[in-house]
Amino acid sequence: MARVFITGSSDGLGLAAAASLLQDGHSVVLHARNEQRAADARAELAQAETVLIGDLTSRAETLDLAERANQLGRFDAVIHNAAVGSSEQRRIATPEGHSHLLAINVLAPYILTARMTRPRRLIYLSSGLHRYAEASLDDVDWVTRPWNATQAYSESKLLDTAFAAALARRWPEVLSNSVEPGWVATKMGGADAPDDLSLGHITQAWLAVSDDPGATVSGHHFYHQNERDRNPAATDPDFQNALIHGLEALTEIRLPEQVA
Query: DSSP strand E in the chain: where?
Result: 3-6, 27-32, 50-53, 77-80, 121-125, 175-180, 221-223, 226-227
Helices (H) and strands (E) in the chain, counts: 8, 8
Query: DSSP strand E in 97-169: where?
Result: 121-125
Active-site annotation holder among 110, 124, 132, 157: 157
Sign for the CA dihedral angle at 9, 142, 148, 135 comes to negative
Active site residue 157: yes
Active-site annotation holder among 110, 124, 132, 153: 153
Active site residue 153: yes
CB 67 within 8 A of CB 59: no
3-class state of residue 89 by DSSP:
coil
Segment (H or E) for 245: helix 237-251
Segment (H or E) for 175: strand 175-180
Residues tagged active-site = 153, 157
